[in-house]
A and B are shown apart, each in its own frame.
Chain A
Amino acid sequence: MTAVAIHLEASPLGQPLACFAERRVDKLRRGLQQERPLSDDAELLKRIRGGAREDFAELVRRHQSHVFAILYRYERDHHRLEDLAQDTFLKAWRSLDQFDGRAPFQHWLSKIAVHAALDHLRKQKRSQHEIGFPELGEDALDWLHNEDKQSDLEASQAREILDGAMAKLSAEDQLVLTLLEIEDRSVKEISALTGWTAVTVRVRALRARGRLKKALEGLEKK
C-alpha cells in the first residue's frame, strides 16, 4: 500500500491521490493495531487485578503510542502532552475495576484519552482570557490570504492556522472537529468515544464547522 502511495506521488494526478492512499494506509494500520489479540490484554489485566501491579507497565508500553496519537492533536507542547498521557493512564489505573472486558482494552482507553483531552481543552479555555488571533508565520499567512491557493500547504502550517482559529471555539467544538474532520473518524465512533448521541455529534459538528469558518475568516481579515 505504501508503495502505491509513493507511485501515485510520482504520477500526474499527484498529491491528492497519494494523500488519499496514505490515509487509507493509516486507517488500515489503525485497524490492524486494534486487532491485537484480546487475550493478550485480558491476560495482563487478569494478572494486574490479581496483584501484579508492575504488569501495568507492559500495558502502558503496548498502548502508549495509541494514546499519544489521540492526544497530540490537542496539545503541542511535548511536556504537557506527556503529562496529559500520564494523566490518561493514571485514570485508567484508578478505574481498572470498571473495565468489564466486553470491548477491547484499547477502545476503553481511547474513551479515557478523549475525555482527558476534553477536560484539558476546557481548562485551557477557562485560563485563556479574551485574546486576539495569534501571530502566524509568513507561509501560513500567504496561504490564508491567497484565494487561489488550495493545496501545497504543509501539515505544520495547517496546524498553525487551525490552532489559531480553533482557539476561538469551545472545547466541545474543538473536540468534535478534530475527531471528525482531522482524525477522519465516523459519527458512530465519535459517539462511542464521547458518549454523545449520533444526532448530537452531527449537529455539533455542523455548527462547529460553521464557527471554524467564521474564525478563519477573522484570521484572514487580520
Chain B
Amino acid sequence: MNEKKLNALLSAAQRETPIAAAGGFERLVMQQIQRDPARMELSISDVLNRWFPRLAVVAAAIIVLCAVGDYVSAGPTLSESAAQLSYPYFAEN
C-alpha cells in the first residue's frame, strides 16, 4: 500500500459522522449514579485513606521534632525519662 492510498483511506475515515446519544441518556447515567453513589458517601476508611499520606508525613515530622528537641535540650534524655516513668511499674514486680 502506497502513502497516497493510505492517506486517502484515512481521510475517508475522517468523514464518518458520529453516532448520537439516544434520548434520555442522561437518565441512564443518573440511574447508574444512584446505584453507585461512591462519591457522595465516603466511609471512615475512605477518608483515612485519602488523608493517609499527609497524616503519615505530619506524624513523622512530629517524631523527628521531638527527637531533635530531646537531643538539644539539657534535661534528661528520652531514654532516661522513659526509665524514670516506667520505674514504679517495674519496681512493683
Interface residues of A (CB under 8 A from B): 19, 22-23, 53-54, 56-58, 60-61, 64-65, 68-69, 72, 78, 81-82, 85-86, 89-90, 93-97, 147, 149-151, 153-159, 161-162, 181-184, 209, 212-213, 216-217, 220
Q: Are B18 and A155 in contact (CB under 8 A)?
A: no
Select one of B12, B38, B40 contacting A153, CB under 8 A. Answer: B12
Known: A94-B39, A213-B1. A57 touches B26 (CB 8 A): yes
Instruction: List 8 contacting pairs A-B, 8 Å CB cutoff, sorted by A.
Output: A19-B15, A56-B29, A60-B30, A68-B18, A155-B13, A159-B16, A162-B9, A182-B10
B25 touches A (CB below 8 Å): yes
- Please provide the chain B residues from 21 to 55 with a CB less than 8 Å away from any CB of chain A in the complex: 21-22, 25-30, 32-33, 36, 38-40
A61 to B6, CA, bound (A): 37
Please give me the residue from chain B that is nearest to A143 by CB atom.
B9
B19 within 8 A of A: yes
- Known A65-B18, A94-B38, A216-B6: A154·B26 in contact at CB below 8 Å: no
Query: Does B11 touch A at the CB level, under 8 Å?
Result: yes
Question: Which A residues are CB-close (under 8 A) to B18?
Answer: 65, 68-69, 72
A72 touches B19 (CB 8 A): yes
Chain B residue, CB-CB nearest to A215: B1
Least distance between B5 CB and chain A CB atoms (Å) = 5
Residues of A within 8 A of B26 (CB): 57-58, 60-61, 64
CB contact under 8 A between A57 and B32, given known A82-B22, A94-B38, A213-B6: no
Q: A162-B9, A216-B1 are in contact. List 13 more A-B contacts (CB 8 A).
A: A23-B14, A58-B26, A61-B26, A68-B19, A68-B21, A82-B25, A85-B25, A94-B36, A149-B5, A150-B8, A158-B16, A161-B9, A213-B1
| Known A-B contacts A57-B29, A82-B25; A65 and B12 likewise in contact (beta carbons under 8 Å) | no
**Complex Cα spacing A157 to B28, Å:** 32
A220 and B39 in contact, given A81-B19, A159-B16 (Cβ under 8 angstroms): no
